[in-house]
Amino acid sequence: MNRDEELQALNLNFLVTEFLLPEINDAMRETRPSGSRRRGAQLQGALFEIFGWMYLGVQVGYFHRQHATQLLKEHYQTIFPKKLMDDSLIRNLFPELEPILRRAIKGDFFPDMTADFREQGRLGTAFRTAFVLGSGFARDSLAQGFSTTLNFASEAFWVALTGEEKSKVAPDQILLALNLTGPAPVAVTAETLYAGFLRTLEHMDAARDLFVECERSDKTSLEELEFWRRVRQLQAWRVNLRDRKVRFMEVARKVNKEVISELNTPDLKYEPRFFLIKIEELVNYWLGEATDRSRERTATA
C-alpha cells in the first residue's frame, strides 16, 4: 500500500468511526419493536447520506475505490436494510441521487466515474472540510430531532407541538434546551423543537458560508462549485424544503416574532421581518437557487 492509499484508508476509517458505526448501532436498536416510524425513516435517510459521502469521496480521490467497495459489501445489509426500505424516501428525499442509490441497492456501488472531477487534490481538502461539517450536523441530537419531526411527523403530532396553544414558548426554556449536546436522542417537545430549529440554522449557515467563500474566490472553478452543489444535495434531505417548506417557515415566523419581541425597546424598533430575511437567504441556498444562479454566472463569465 503506497502513501496515497494509506491516507485514503485513514480517511475511510474516520468515516467509519465518526459516522457509519454510530448509525449502525442506531440501526441495530431500530430493529426492536419500540422503534418509531419517524426515527426509522430518519435512520434510512442517514444511511443513504453515508453512501452519498462515500460516493463523492471516491469521485474526488478522498477514499480508495476498492476499500470503499469492500466496506459497503461488509455492511450492505445495514446500509441498505430491506426492513427499512421505503421507495418513496429515495424519490422524495434524494431526487438528485436517485440513480446512484438505485444502482447501489443492486450492488453496483461505483460505476465508471472517469473524469467526474479532475482537481482531486484540491477537492480532497474541500471534501475533508465539508465532511467534518456534515458529520457534525448528522450527530447533533437537537438538529436531528428537529429534522425528524419536520420531515416525518404526522400533521396531528406537528400541530400538537406548534399549534396555537404552543405558540408561546418560553425563551429561557429554549436556551436551556440549547445546552443539550452530543448524539444521544432527546425527547421531542416544543422547547427542543425550537432549539433544534436554531441549531439547524447554525449548520445551514455554516454550509452556506463555505459555498459563498468558494464563490467569491478569484480561483474558483466550475468543478469546485459543482462539488459544493453535490455536498448540498447530500444534506438537503435533513431540511426537506421541497416538501416541508411550509412547516419550516411556520417555525421561522414564530421564532422571528419572539426575537423581535425580545429585541424591541421603546427607543429602538427592529424591522418586523429582521430575522426572517436571514432565514429566507438560507432557504434559497438550500433549495439550490443561489447555487444554480452562481453556476450560471461563472459559466458565462
Domain regions of the chain by residue span: 3-116, 136-300
CA atoms of 259 and 230, how far apart (whole Å) = 33
pLDDT at 164 over 70: no
Share of the chain above pLDDT 90, in %: 32
Q: Nearest Cα to 193, choosing from 237, 147, 152?
A: 147
CB atoms within 10 A of CB 1: 9
Query: Of 228, 257, 263, which Cα lies nearest the Cα of 122?
Result: 228
* Cα torsion through 288, 294, 295, 297, rounded to 10: 150
Look at residue 244 and tell me whether its pLDDT is greater than 90.
Answer: yes
**Per-residue pLDDT at 301 exceeds 90:** no
Q: Which residue has the higher pLDDT, 175 or 138?
A: 138
Confidence of residue 91 (pLDDT cuts 50, 70, 90): confident
Q: How far is CA 8 from CA 118, 204, 278, in A?
A: 17, 28, 38
| Residue 280 neighbours by CB under 8 Å, 6+ apart | none
- Give pLDDT tens digits for 43-88: 889 989 999 999 999 999 899 999 999 999 998 988 887 765 567 8
Cα gap 259→236, rounded to integer Å: 26
pLDDT band for 190, please (50, 70, 90 cuts).
confident
Predicted TM-score (pTM) of this structure: 0.85
Residue that wins the pLDDT comparison between 182 and 245: 245
Is residue 229 over pLDDT 50? Answer: yes
Q: What is the pLDDT of residue 56?
A: 93
Mean predicted confidence (pLDDT) in 116-127? 81
* CA torsion angle 182 184 186 192 (round to 10): 20
Q: What is the DSSP string of 145-201?
A: HHHHHHHH--HHHHHHHHSGGGS---HHHHHHHTT--SSS-----HHHHHHHHHHHH
The predicted model gives 138-165 an average pLDDT of 89
Partners of 268 in the beta sheet? 265
Burial class from Cβ neighbours inside 10 Å (0-12, 13-18, 19+) for residue 190 reads buried
Report for 35-44, 207-216, 225-234, 257-266: range of highest mean pLDDT: 225-234
Q: Please, which residues have CB within 8 angstroms of residue 6's CB and are 6 or more apart in sequence?
A: none
Residues 6+ apart with CB under 8 A from 127: 56, 57, 60, 62, 227
Q: Are 61 and 120 in contact (CB under 8 A)?
A: yes
Cβ atoms < 10 Å from Cβ of 206: 12
* Mean pLDDT in residue range 275-301: 66
- Residue 166: which of 188, 142, 190, 186 has the closest Cα? 190
